[in-house]
A and B are shown apart, each in its own frame.
Chain A
Amino acid sequence: MNTMPTKRLTLIGGIVVLAALVYAAPLVAHHAFGAEFDRDAPIRLAGKVVKLEWVNPHSWIHLEVVSDDGTTVVWMVEGGTPNVLLRRGLRRDCLTYGTEIIVDGYQTKDHSLKRANGRDVTFADGTKIFLGSSGTGAPDDAERLRERRARGRC
């Protein structure tokens, strides 16, 4: 076991990552989020799903947001590759049109586009749309999945 104090490990970890990313920084993301989205333009959206694009390299969720004045605007939210979701059991009924969702993220650099990254996409009650595995094979993984499926969630 590495016996170095945790905080020292943390510091070293930062150095390691910096070294590893010297040549990688502009290349790391498939579509570099830092190039696409504006970290100074955060947004929270709540609305109904009106369209889904489960396509590579990125999925897009379209949701209709009702403004305070009653007008509606359709926002597009970028998610990851659908291939991972397919392997995790993505089905047609996992996220149906009309479902109320909440999204927080950052707008595209051109704010007029009405697009954002899906930093956190959840149902209206705050639960995640899908569930990643804890990776441990822990018993509560299966239990949580059973519980979600009993509520009609994927």
Chain B
Amino acid sequence: MEFLNRSSLARIGCVALAVGLASPALAQTQGDATQAWVLPRTPDGHPDLQGNWTNATMTLIERPPGYERALTSEQVAALEGDRAAFIEIHSADSDPDREAPPVGGVSWGDSLDDEASVLYDQTSALYDAASGGTGGYNIFYIDPGDRVAVWDGEPRSSLVVDPPDGRIPPLSPEGEKARSELEAQQAQFGDFDNPENRPLAERCLLSFGSNAGPPMIPNYFYNNNYTIVQTADHVMIMTEMVHDARIIRLGERTPLPAHIRPWLGDSWGRWEGDTLVVETTNLPRKQLNGNRNFAGGSDHFKVTERFTRVDEHTINYEFTVDDPAFYSSPWTAQVPFKALPDLVYEYACHEANYAMSNVLIGARAQERGAAEEGRVPR
């Protein structure tokens, strides 16, 4: 198996550092371009947010310990260099005479040495969690973002900026109670009893609960892409995964009754100067609790999003979650959306794509095997 040694990390780190060191000149060029750039507007006079965008980034939602909000240029070079090294090593040729992988599973980190950094470790752990020890599939299928998030020129260590520690606040006592009740309710059933017990993404209903949101948070795997279309009285955001279109109505809010809770909730927008402000309520609990990036929410979950186009290539996307029945305080994250110089493809996710039946048939097979051996199935 390929092995990443200190010298190769240093080499790739140098490439990244060189890119980082070159950035002042690049920033200057972009600065000049920014001066020439004029905010495009739609015929009704509002900022034009339309186009294809991506929020892929290697900056995680929450800040790792030991980091400040702003990353230093050295940290950026190290983190992006490690990500590049990770991709590099997993793109290398394999031994054509290789045997089957080991019984018991493999880790994405097996090919790494002790020089691997915090990001390297996080990445391999994330993929290990996804693959359940089976190694997932080749890295060329994965496109998680290879740059840290930069907000108004500041490289960030987390998407969450408030609370100031970059961490999502703990649950309120009411939230803790709701979570305990949910876990107790879920514990009555087996994970593989039926399709309804499987995650929303597995059922092709929503991508990890996080891409379409709101709030729209990258999934750290792939297809973190969006198409925005706007008219004078509506804004549509189509999320590539899993082909979800959110229709935001503009104007005076006439919200849905509390008991009507569609996927993606009930979104209403308004313009505050050149910023589009969108408030969403009525998100279904199943969507909130199926989100892989935060703990969930109550029926009172409200998210306020702010879209500000700051240059030709960037929309500053900020959101605040306010759910006093679930979280001990509101929390805010800032996620730059960058122009995607590419197409957004249809993601016709279909539930019958073998995987769901493989999961359920597999569970039944394991139950039969366990019964024959007189043991409890895994």
Contacts and interface: CB of A to CB of B under 8 A. Distances in A.
B181 interface: no
- Nearest first, the 10 A-B pairs at minimum CB distance are A34-B132, A80-B141, A109-B362, A135-B146, A13-B121, A31-B355, A39-B105, A119-B135, A110-B365, A1-B74
A134 B84 contact: yes
Contact of B12 (A13, A27, A136): A136
A121 interface: yes
B142 A84 contact: yes
Given A56-B348, A84-B222, A36 B355 contact: yes
Interface string B107-131: 0000000111111111001100111
A102 B87 contact: no
A6 to B, nearest CB: 6
Given A80-B142, A81-B223, A12 B137 contact: no
Contacts of B104: 39-40
Given A57-B349, A104-B98, A10 B138 contact: no
B355 A58 contact: yes
Interface string A32-58: 111111111111100000000001111
Interface of B: 12, 15-16, 19, 60-62, 64-67, 72, 74-75, 78, 80-81, 83-84, 87-88, 90-96, 98-106, 114-122, 125-126, 129-143, 146-147, 191-192, 198-199, 201-202, 204, 207-209, 221-223, 240-242, 290-296, 342-343, 345, 347-350, 353-356, 358-359, 361-366
6 contacts: A21-B126, A34-B134, A109-B361, A115-B354, A135-B83, A135-B147
A56 B117 contact: no
Interface string A42-80: 111000000000011111100000000000000010111
Most interface-central of B99, B101, B103, B132 (chain A CB within 10 A): B132
B142 A44 contact: no
A104 B100 contact: yes
A63 B94 CA distance: 19
A105 B16 CA distance: 32
B347 A2 contact: no
B342 A57 contact: no
Contacts of A118: 137-138
B271 to A, nearest CB: 32
Contact of B126 (A17, A35, A87): A17
Nearest to A131: B91
A85 B19 CA distance: 26
A36 B358 contact: yes
Nearest to B220: A28
Contacts of B131: 29, 33-34, 117
Given A10-B118, A20-B60, A32 B293 contact: no
Most interface-central of A7, A18, A20, A38 (chain B CB within 10 A): A20
Interface in A81-118: 81, 83-88, 102, 104-106, 108-113, 115, 117-118
Contacts of A113: 358, 361
A25 interface: yes
A130 to B, nearest CB: 4
A9 B121 contact: yes
A40 B138 contact: no
A118 B142 CA distance: 13
Contact of B75 (A2, A80, A129, A132): A2
Contacts of B99: 44, 104
Contacts of B354: 58, 60, 76, 78, 115
A38 B135 CA distance: 11
Given A134-B84, A134-B88, A134-B91, A56 B132 contact: no
A115 B361 CA distance: 12
A117 B118 CA distance: 28
A105 B134 contact: yes
Given A40-B104, A136-B80, 16 more contacts: A2-B67, A9-B118, A13-B117, A28-B126, A32-B130, A33-B134, A35-B359, A38-B362, A39-B133, A102-B98, A125-B96, A131-B140, A132-B140, A133-B87, A136-B12, A138-B15
Contact of A127 (B87, B93, B130): B93
